Amino acid sequence: MELVSERRALVVGNWKMNLDFVEAVHLTQQIGVLLRHNPVAHVDVALAPPFVDLRSVSSVVDSERIPVSLCAQHVNANEAGPHTGEISLSMLTRVGVTTFIVGHSERRTHYAMDDDTVARTLTHVVRAGQRGLLCVGEDLVVREASEYESFVATQLESALRPLSVAQRELVTVAYEPIWAIGTGRSATSEEVNLATAHLRRVLASLEMPTTRVLYGGSVNADNASELIHQGIDGFLVGGASLKAESFLAIIHAVDGCYAELR
Ligand code: 13P
């Protein structure tokens, strides 16, 4: 079992295309109540609601002083102009977003976000002084061909090399193997451990030895305690973040682990 890192943990709830603004407000309030009753000491928590929910969620977070930050699920690489259906970074920071997910596998796979667009988007985010949450991860074909290490290294290098070393400090990385997302089949502890060690080697070669590395893919209240011991700094949670109880159980599992090992 590896010791948890000196860094604070981070747990992000990615709501994907779920919950309208009324449901989003309700879930945020529930999360607020549970965090008030049972606060955490070692974990930063962030919520990534759909765009149209952000303003309402932001109001609730501010007025009820809920200790969570706001994350955008995606952002356009351009600041303004003819990009029908897209949202700009300044629009999102204006409603309180401080972290931007860049290159989620669902954007890469279904919306043609290639490595070049990922790099341009991440550059745009950190140039504005905002935080980026860069997602990388391989599909089953790559995994079964035992090529995931070079695949993920390429994803990391192409997104991070264009950034200055100072800009890289604004980046957190999430390892989300596509075969584990929404499938109920999380990576095993050993797979997370090996992949994280590999990501950290690549990050060290990019002068990013202290970057937070999250894991995402079928994380739930049952597997969080074991997975958090595998050298990671937290989780990017999809399905289990849509219910306050399961999301909080994950957050508390992480906090408990960090408290124990400090
Ligand atoms: P699930 O937790 O639903 O597998 O989703 C993971 C994910 O894609 C988070 O960004």
Tens-digit pLDDT string for the chain (262 aa)? 344 566 899 999 999 999 999 999 999 999 999 999 999 999 999 999 999 999 999 999 999 999 999 999 999 999 999 999 999 999 999 999 999 999 999 999 999 999 999 999 999 999 999 999 999 999 999 999 999 999 999 999 999 999 999 999 999 999 999 999 999 999 999 999 999 999 999 999 999 999 999 999 999 999 999 999 999 999 999 999 999 999 999 999 999 999 887 7
CATH superfamily of 9-260: Aldolase class I (3.20.20.70)
Give me the residue spans of the domains in the chain: 9-260
Catalytic residue among 74, 124, 138, 176: 176
**Tokens for 23?**
């449901």
Most ligand 1 atoms within 8 A of CB, residue of 11, 14, 220 to mutate: 14
> Is any atom of ligand 1 closer than 6 Å to the C-beta of 219?
yes
Whole-prediction pTM: 0.97
**Whether 92 contacts 54, CB under 8 Å:** yes
> Is any atom of ligand 1 closer than 6 Å to the C-beta of 176?
yes
**Tokens for 260?**
């124990």
Centre a 10 Å sphere on the Cβ of residue 5 and count the other Cβ atoms it contains.
17
242: nearest Cα among 221, 261, 225: 221
